[in-house]
């Protein structure tokens, strides 16, 4: 595996032997200059960056555990240092560059084998719109809901935060509303347009998620971003926001609309799941699942493959009757209503020249089904794939 030149020389932050910036800045600057997505630091290994999906080493040799620890602690507040020592991990945002023109990184520092490791993702300071992100056209419909719950599903690194930023900025340009976000950490910085946007960062603007959620409804929001649906408290706050007439956006680690329902139910004991289904039946407006896949189109490194479910009468009936496995059939029968499944979207992107067949088959939930779709053959569920 060949090394990538460290674009920012090791002494670029120094002047006559005196360092001007944090010790790790040269690695963050290399990520920016190389236009790659992620930086990984691990003791006794060279710094690694993710380029077109693969990790590759930067030149410069291995880093010691002390270099990584001391370099990260240089970036943390005293409270953040305490949190890392208490929990063995810390999430924070780090800006590289002058205020107003800085590149932002979402950083997770964590303990492994007694030493600190770091995973940092570069977040583009420019908030791209739906077309620039190559999202399906029907994504605009999601931003037009006045109330209810919208969930973005996918694994870490699937572009959920970028899509949510596009949704919020679309609302920001269109509606004179109050948007409140609770983030850990803040990733995209919004500039007020028609909307008033207040962004609260856990650990800086509010001590913890519990306090942020406690005060959320007292802040007169129209739209709220609660972040990840990580526990009962977070989901309950999202439902409460939706039930009281707000549009609530959140994320969840799930690979499909049906799995999203299952993951939410798994947060609760069995005896409470009937009432949770009822809450989803009445309040869930849409689920957007996505994964990022390499593109073959020049100038487009990756594109999102999506599954989009809107909660219509059929979907609500399936949720109520615990027939979640049939949700995919309704999605496939509702393309004209803006819904789409992964197979249909992968087919569309192959035909539009964004991805090749091999990449599409690798990303497909069912490669054989995708092969039939590309030939225009009707799927076994009864939906037309072609």
3-state helix/strand/coil string of 61-86: EECCHHHHHHHHHCCCCHHHHHHHHH
Across 144-159, average pLDDT: 94
Tell me what the pLDDT averaged over the chain comes to: 90
Q: Of 3-17, 69-83, 111-125, 171-185, where does mean pLDDT reach its minimum?
A: 3-17
> What was the pLDDT predicted at 18?
53
Closest CA to 38 of 107, 89, 97: 107
- Report the side by side order of strands in the sheet with 223-228: 196-201, 178-183, 223-228, 247-252, 148-153, 284-294, 302-310
> What was the pLDDT predicted at 206?
87
Of 112 and 93, more confident: 112
Of 7 and 361, more confident: 361
Across 71-100, average pLDDT: 91
Tokens of 44: 């006794």
What's the pTM value of the predicted model, to 2 decimals? 0.80
Per-residue confidence band for 379, with pLDDT thresholds at 50, 70 and 90 = low
Instruction: Answer whether residue 1 shows pLDDT above 80.
Output: no
Distance, CA of 73 to CA of 208 (rounded, Å): 21
> What was the pLDDT predicted at 384?
38
Across 108-123, average pLDDT: 94
Tell whether domain 139-340 is in CATH 3.30.160.270: no
β pairing state of 103-112 and 115-123: antiparallel
Per-residue confidence band for 386, with pLDDT thresholds at 50, 70 and 90 = very low
Distance, CA of 216 to CA of 222 (rounded, Å): 11
Buried-state track 205-222, b at ≥16 Cβ within 10 A, e below 16: ebeebeebbeebeeeebb
Instruction: Answer whether residue 15 shows pLDDT above 50.
Output: no
Instruction: Answer whether residue 17 shows pLDDT above 70.
Output: no
Q: Of 49-63, 279-293, 312-326, where does mean pLDDT reach its minimum?
A: 49-63
Per-residue confidence band for 10, with pLDDT thresholds at 50, 70 and 90 = very low
Instruction: Answer whether residue 382 shows pLDDT above 50.
Output: no
SS3 content of the chain, % helix, strand, coil (to 5): 35, 25, 35
Per-residue confidence band for 20, with pLDDT thresholds at 50, 70 and 90 = low
Across 200-223, average pLDDT: 88
> What was the pLDDT predicted at 241?
93
Across 320-334, average pLDDT: 96
| Residues comprising the chain, all counted | 386
Question: CA separation (Å) from 178 to 14, 161, 197, 225?
Answer: 44, 20, 6, 11
Instruction: Answer whether residue 93 shows pLDDT above 90.
Output: no
Each residue's pLDDT tens digit, 21-66: 799 999 999 999 998 889 999 999 999 998 877 899 999 899 999 9
| Region label for 220, one of left (φ > 0), alpha (ψ between -120 and 50) or beta (otherwise) | left
Distance, CA of 309 to CA of 334 (rounded, Å): 9
E strands, 97-147, where? 103-112, 115-123
Cα 188 versus chain centre, distance: 11
Per-residue confidence band for 305, with pLDDT thresholds at 50, 70 and 90 = very high
Across 253-278, average pLDDT: 95
Instruction: Answer whether residue 7 shows pLDDT above 70.
Output: no
E strands, 159-299, where? 178-183, 196-201, 223-228, 247-252, 284-294
Enumerate the CATH 3.40.50.300 domain ranges in the chain, comma separated: 139-340
Give me the CATH code for the 14-123 domain, please.
3.30.450.90
Distance, CA of 39 to CA of 122 (rounded, Å): 8
DSSP H helical segments within 230-296, as ranges?
A: 232-243, 257-266, 273-283
> What was the pLDDT predicted at 9?
44
Each residue's pLDDT tens digit, 331-356: 999 999 999 999 999 999 999 999 99
Across 241-266, average pLDDT: 95
Enumerate the CATH 3.30.450.90 domain ranges in the chain, comma separated: 14-123
Instruction: Answer whether residue 14 shows pLDDT above 90.
Output: no
């Amino acid at each position: 595996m060949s090394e990538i030149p460290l674009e920012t020389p090791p002494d670029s932050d120094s002047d006559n032997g005196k360092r001007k910036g944090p010790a790790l800045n040269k690695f963050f600057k290399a990520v920016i200059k190389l236009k790659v997505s992620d930086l990984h630091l691990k003791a006794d290994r060279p710094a690694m960056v993710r380029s077109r999906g693969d990790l590759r080493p930067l030149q410069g040799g291995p880093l010691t555990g002390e270099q990584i620890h001391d370099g990260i602690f240089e970036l943390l507040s005293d409270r953040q240092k305490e949190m890392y020592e208490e929990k063995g991990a810390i999430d924070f945002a780090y800006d590289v560059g002058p205020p107003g023109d800085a590149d932002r990184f979402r950083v997770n520092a964590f303990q492994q084998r007694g030493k600190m490791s770091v995973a940092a993702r570069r977040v583009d300071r420019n908030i791209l719109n739906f077309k620039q992100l190559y999202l399906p056209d029907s994504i605009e419909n999601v931003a037009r809901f006045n109330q209810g719950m919208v969930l973005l599903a996918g694994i870490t690194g699937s572009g959920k935060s970028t899509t949510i930023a596009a949704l919020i900025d679309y609302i920001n340009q269109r509606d004179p509303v109050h948007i409140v976000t609770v983030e850990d950490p803040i990733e995209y910085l919004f500039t007020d347009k028609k909307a008033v946007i207040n962004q609260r960062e856990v650990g800086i603007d509010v001590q913890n998620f519990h306090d942020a959620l406690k005060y959320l409804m007292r802040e007169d929001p129209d739209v709220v971003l609660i972040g990840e649906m990580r526990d009962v408290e977070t989901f309950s706050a999202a439902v409460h926001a939706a039930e009281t007439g707000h549009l609530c956006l959140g994320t969840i680690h799930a690979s499909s609309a049906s799995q999203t329902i299952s993951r939410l139910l798994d947060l609760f004991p069995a005896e409470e799941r009937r009432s949770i289904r009822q809450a989803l039946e009445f309040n869930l407006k849409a689920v957007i699942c996505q994964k990022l896949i390499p593109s073959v189109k020049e100038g487009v490194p990756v594109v999102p493959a999506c599954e989009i479910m809107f909660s219509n009468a059929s979907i609500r009936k399936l949720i109520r009757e615990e027939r979640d496995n049939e949700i995919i059939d309704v999605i496939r029968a509702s393309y004209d209503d803006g819904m789409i499944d992964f197979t249909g979207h992968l087919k569309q992107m192959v035909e539009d020249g964004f991805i090749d067949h091999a990449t599409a088959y690798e990303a497909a939930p069912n490669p054989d089904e995708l092969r039939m779709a590309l030939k225009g053959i009707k799927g076994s569920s009864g939906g037309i794939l072609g």
